[in-house]
């Protein structure tokens, strides 16, 4: 990830304090749930941006017609 560039990941599973996420290259990683936005649930898309302060994450809206 380049600094300032947003990449989109998908939350696949949340279990305890861990989450499985699909990265833009389609690989799957296990992240600490604390790295994701507070209300992240499976199926959510999360925008991630690296900065000097660390990684920032934002919950992206669901596509039209899909219930949250």
Confidence tier at 53 by pLDDT (50, 70, 90): confident
| DSSP 8-state assignment for residue 35 | G
Q: Of the candidates 20, 12, 58, which has an alpha carbon nearest to the alpha carbon of residue 39?
A: 58
Domain ranges of the chain: 6-59
Q: What is the pLDDT of residues 10-20, one digit of tens each?
A: 999 999 999 99
- Whether residue 52 is predicted with pLDDT greater than 90 in this model: the reply is no
CA distance 5 to 3: 6
Residues paired with residue 45 on neighbouring β-strands, in sequence order: 10
Indicate the pTM of the whole model: 0.83
* Structure-token pair, residue 14: 């949340």
| Architecture of the domain made up of 6-59 | Beta Barrel (2.40)
CA distance 52 to 13: 29
- What value does the CA radius of gyration of the chain take, rounded to a whole number of Å? 12
């Amino acid at each position: 990830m380049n600094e300032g560039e947003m990449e989109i990941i998908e939350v696949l599973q949340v279990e305890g304090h861990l989450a499985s996420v699909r990265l833009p290259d389609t690989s799957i990683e296990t992240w600490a749930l604390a790295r994701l936005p507070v209300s992240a649930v499976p199926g959510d898309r999360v925008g991630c941006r690296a900065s000097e302060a660390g990684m920032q994450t934002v919950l992206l809206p669901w596509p039209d017609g899909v219930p949250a």
